[in-house]
Structure formats: C-alpha cells, structure tokens
Amino acid sequence: MEREILGADPSLTVGDVTRRIGSSRELAQRLWRALGFPDPGDTAAFVEADLEALTNLSTLVESGALDFETTIKLTRAVGSTMARLADWQVATLSEHVEALVQSGQGTGSRLDTSLDVLREVQPPFEHLLLHVWRRQLAAAVSRVAELGAQDSDLHTVTVTVGFADLVSFTRLSNGIDEDHLAVLVEVFESACSDLITAHGGRVIKTLGDSVLFVAGEPKTGVDIAGDIVGRIGGDAAMPDVHVGLATGPVAMRLGDMFGPAVNLASRLTAIARRNRVICDEETAAALSEAKGYAVRALTERELRGFGVVTPFAIRRL
C-alpha cells in the first residue's frame, strides 16, 4: 500500500537528502519533524518526492522569501492537517472496503479491493485537495477583512464563540460499544458542521463530544446554537446537548482561536441545562431588543477565571 501511494519504496537516507539539497542535516530533520514524521536515523526512509518537497521548503528559506521559523510554522500546519485528514479518510475508506467485501462486490481480498478503491479515488481527491485549499485560503483572507481585524494585530477579531457539548457523554461512552459510539460521534459532528456552515459560521475544532465554532455576529451564533439544540436535542437516538455562547475579541493562531470569549463560552456550556442555550452579557445585549428572540437573565454564577457572572438564557421564538 505504501508503494502504491508514494509511487516508490523509500531508498534515501537523511544523509542522502541533505547532500542533494545542499542544506544542513538539522534543517532537513526539523522540516521533516514539522511535517509530522519522526527522525529516521540512518534508515532509508525517503522517496524522491520527499526530496523534492524538502528541497522546495529549503529554497523558500535560502531565497529569503520566508524566514526559517515562519516556514516551520506553515510546514507544521500542513503536516498536522494532513495527518488528521489521512486518518479520517483511511477510517472512512476502510468502512467502504469492508462493505464491498461483505456484499460480494470486492475485487478479491481486502488488500486487492483496497488497492482498487485507492487507485480510483486518489486522483480526484488529490485535485480536490489543492482546489479546496485555495478556496479556504481565499475565504480565510476574506474573513480577516470582513470581521474587522485590528490594523495593529491581523490575528485579532471580535466574534461570537460557541461550544456545543453532548450531555453526560463520558457516562454514555462507558455503556455502549465502540461501533455505536463512533456512529454517535460522527452523527453529532456532521450535523453540527452542516448547521454551522449553513449559517456562514465556521467549525474551529471538534473534540468528539463537543464542537467549538465561531460566528461573525451574535445573531448568527444564536441561530446556529438554536439549530444544534433542535437537531441533536430533538433526535431520540442522540444524547441531549447544551450550548454556551460568548462574544468578544479572540486571537486566531495556528488554525485555532484563543481568548477570554473562548474560555467563557466553554464555562457557560458547563452550566447550561440540557437542550438549552445560554450566553454572556454582550451576546444577550446584542439581541435583547431583536424581534424573534427571548432573552432572560439567570441567577449569578461563579465561573472559574471570571468571578461572578450573570448568564442569560436565549432562544428563538
């Protein structure tokens, strides 16, 4: 399978790579680690395509187009994203191959069927990968402008942050088999992603039983949260869900978001009742006079890191 995907067996050592690149061993190893791969020692672990990739990265640094640390950060982002994508795709394709074999539609053994599926799907998905990266890059640049990033810090924007979390997930996961758990998580993450994207929001990350998302304004965040509660909480086959929202400045770094609003949304989720949405004062204030929404102050609560806070229950009418 490795030969089929890479097009060749590994035949180059790190010494071979550094000699042909004309760079230091340390630079090649740091770039390789940034891609998510361990140091191979003196083992032949590289193919010609690896050499080409590392040469291109080394050239960026040597030409002065990027400094070394920026190159490492960008390389680490690619490596981390591709590792997660590859795991996701392998798991999905494994299920597909198993279904083909079980239904008698396979082309022999599981290995033979896997190779045939791989040969069929790899070219269009390689093309899709590059295209979607360009689309997402364009969208990311547009978001920085549309969200009003501060001129002094292009990483900082003011948004509404949301945390959607399945209720009592740990207890539930201990009482069901792994296959059922995997299906449950997939349904939750897929449903949340669809709803968030449909409203123009963005999924920042998923953690199995929770989804962190962001919206450009409080109304959009509340609409997303309400739809998540309606979809997940209204499904008898799914656990209940609760959502916390907070509005404020956040820092966008390495594909993630950080800041008080992120932490506050998480804290609010933890105290929200099942199938309810609660938010901070800023989010509530933005919708307090809006038609079609009900906002109600709740009892003050002590939240770690924030002191005494007044949460607000919010819902669409």
DSSP reduced 3-state for 292? coil
What's the CA gap between 311 and 308, in Å, rounded? 10
Distances (CA, A) of 301 to 47, 177, 225, 280, 304: 58, 37, 21, 12, 10
**Residue 42 neighbours by CB under 8 Å, 6+ apart:** 13, 14, 15
Q: What percent of the chain has pLDDT over 90?
A: 56
Q: What percent of the chain has pLDDT over 70?
A: 96
What's the CA gap between 87 and 81, in Å, rounded? 10
pLDDT at 134 over 60: yes
Domain boundaries, the chain: 2-145, 152-316
pLDDT at 151 over 50: no
Residue range 152-316, CATH number: 3.30.70.1230
**Residue 133 neighbours by CB under 8 Å, 6+ apart:** none
Q: Which residues pair with 243 in a beta bridge?
A: 164, 277
pLDDT at 149 over 60: no
What are the tens digits of pLDDT across the range 24-42? Answer: 888 888 999 999 999 888 8
H-run or E-run covering 209: none
What's the CA gap between 200 and 147, in Å, rounded? 12
Provide the pLDDT for residue 252: 79
What are the tens digits of pLDDT across the range 96-121? Answer: 888 888 888 888 888 888 888 888 99
Provide the pLDDT for residue 280: 96
Strand bridging mode 241-253 / 256-258: antiparallel
What's the CA gap between 135 and 143, in Å, rounded? 12
Burial of 28 (0-12, 13-18, 19+ CB in 10 A): buried
pLDDT at 244 over 90: yes
Burial of 75 (0-12, 13-18, 19+ CB in 10 A): buried
Q: How many CB atoms lie within 10 A of CB 46?
A: 23
What are the tens digits of pLDDT across the range 266-295? Answer: 999 999 999 999 999 999 999 988 899 999
pLDDT at 57 over 70: yes
What's the CA gap between 311 and 296, in Å, rounded? 9
Segment among 5-9, 124-128, 228-232 with least mean pLDDT: 5-9
Dig out the tokens for 19 from the structure: 């000699």
Report pTM.
0.72
